[in-house]
Structure formats: structure tokens, C-alpha cells
Amino acid sequence: TQSTWGLDQFSQSLSDNYLIQGVIFLNLYSLIGTLTGLPFSVYETFVLEAKHGFNKTTWQTFVSDRIKGFLLSVGLGSPLFALILWLLDSMGDLAWLYCWATVSVFLLLIQFIAPVFLMPLFLKFTPLPDGELKSEIAKFAAKVGFSFQGIYEVDGSRRSSHSNAFFTGFGASKRIALFDTLIKSHTVPELLAVLAHEIGHYKKKHVLIGSFLGILNSGVVLYFISLFIKNEDLFTSFYVQKPTLHVGLILASFLYQPVSLFTSFLTNALSRFNEFQADEYSVRNFRDPNALVLGLKKLSKENASNLTPHWFYVMVNYTHPPVIERIRAIQAI
């Protein structure tokens, strides 16, 4: 587009080095995207979420989250983008393979550093105090051979009344994280049934498979981009008069969007299948299907989930099956 070409011209006016030009272009492009999407984020948070009683976010927290998110994007993304540009410029036809290796290492590192250094920038993790819940979680984890580093309560209520539970990290460094809203609204058996579901994802290798598929997908994306990144017709179609690698990278990514939509059908279907497997693991190992059903009903009610979404909308957008389908599957075990 003309705006992309203008942004590239401005980036080139600030430096003669193509790597610096590329980093400046990427960050400015990202900033513009953030700013143009800001009104929609404000409406979603302070109008839609507030209308249904979910929003607890203050303006200070909202602005702080956006600033920290952008600064992290600049700090982590700039070196990675510069390295990718250098590889694309220096490594010939196999540059996409070197880029894939680089991105794969980056993705794996992020999964290790995010729980310790990045997530605490946005959420407060407090060790769960001693009590029935903590001891029961430890007993069940020991029973099924699930090692972890600690159990933490997350101050999710500072931003929203939505509930959630998740694990972070790998191996013995895994952390169990429970939103304070979840702890407040669920009984101990319900919480254990939900956690058994999450443990099921680890035991069924869903997390490992997901990481592998994420890395595989990045390879497919980079190979696709490599086919078009220097295509003159692509630049001409977007009115770019002086082709550059960093603009080509963005434009080629536009072409990948239809492919991405197709692959999302497959990954969403796999994710929904994994959820059924994790539910089954919870039922067979915690042996309290009623607790899991009650827990899912409460989560559905608290998050105002759509109980009867259209099947096509589910296929396109849902990573989890509708709660009614999950309950039917649980009761059939």
C-alpha cells in the first residue's frame, strides 16, 4: 500500500544500514497496528466486558499493559527480526532453513523464560498458602506422577472476573497457576478435577505435540514467504517502488493469510480432540466425573460461554468443544 511505502521511505531516511532500516520499519509498523487496534480493545474491555460484569481493569492497568507489551515486542522482536533479515540476505536459497532454526530456538527459549521473567510483568504469582487445596493437589500430583515446582495463586481478579487455570514451564520446573477468581468460586473437588484435566494434557503429550506443531508451522510459513519475498510483481501490486527485504517479508505474510485460515481449521480440530482426551484423563484418574461436570458448568456460567454455537463457527474459531458436548462425552465414559 501507499502507507507501507511511505513508512519504508521514512525508515530508509533514518539509516543507510538495511538491518537498522528493517528494525525501524517493523517497530513502526507494529506501533501503527497497535494504535489502530486500540479503540477496539478499549471498546471490548470497557464497554462489552463491563456490560456483562467481567471487566475489573483500570485505565492505569490497561495503558500499562499495552506499554509493557509493546516494549517487550521491541526488545525481543528487534534482534530476532534483524537476524532473520541478515539470513535472508546472506544465505541464498536455503535462507529459510536457517531462519527456521533461529525461530525454533527462539520459540523454545520463550517457553522457558516466559513463566519466570515475562508473565510476572503482567500477573502477580503468589505461592498458594498451606491448606486443604494445596495438600490435595500435592497428593493427586504424586499419585499420577506429576512433578512440579510450585502452586501459585494469580491475581486475575485485578483485570477480569473470568476464571482460568494453567501450567507454565517444562519438566520439574512446571508451575501450577490458579486464578483467584477460580479458587473463590469452586470447591476443592471441582478444582482438582479441573487440574486433573490440565495434567491430562501433559500426560497425553499435548503440550509437546503443540510445541512441535508450532515449530513445524513456523517452517511452513518461512518457506512460503521465501517463495515470494523477492517477487517484483508482489511489490508492484502493493505500489512499492523500491523493493526491500523487510517490506517483502510483510507483504509475503499477507499472502499467507488464506493458507493460515486453512491450517487453523486443522489445529483447532486437533485442539478440540485434545480437550476430550484431557477430560477423559481427569475422569479416569481423579474418578469424580460429577466434580468435573460441575466445574465446567461453573466456568461456562462465569465466562458467559455460548452453550449452542453454530457448528461452522466452532470449526473456524473454537479451540475447545462447546461445554454441552464435553459434558455428554464425560457422562458417556
Active-site positions read 198
**C-alpha span between 211 and 195 (Å, rounded):** 21
Q: Which three cell numbers, joined as nine digits, stand for 57?
A: 481493569
Is 292 buried (19+), middle (13-18) or exposed (0-12) by CB count in 10 A?
buried
Q: Which run of H or E residues covers position 278? A: helix 245-286
Spell 107-119 as b/e; 16+ CB within 10 A means b.
eeeeeeeebeeeb
Closest CA to 81 of 217, 222, 242, 227: 222
Terminal Cα distance for the chain, rounded:
55
Contact 200, 276 (CB under 8 A): no
**Do residues 178 and 151 make contact, with C-beta atoms less than 8 angstroms apart?**
yes
Of 174, 136, 127, the C-alpha closest to 155 is: 127
- The sign of the dihedral angle between the CA atoms of 131, 137, 138, 143 is positive
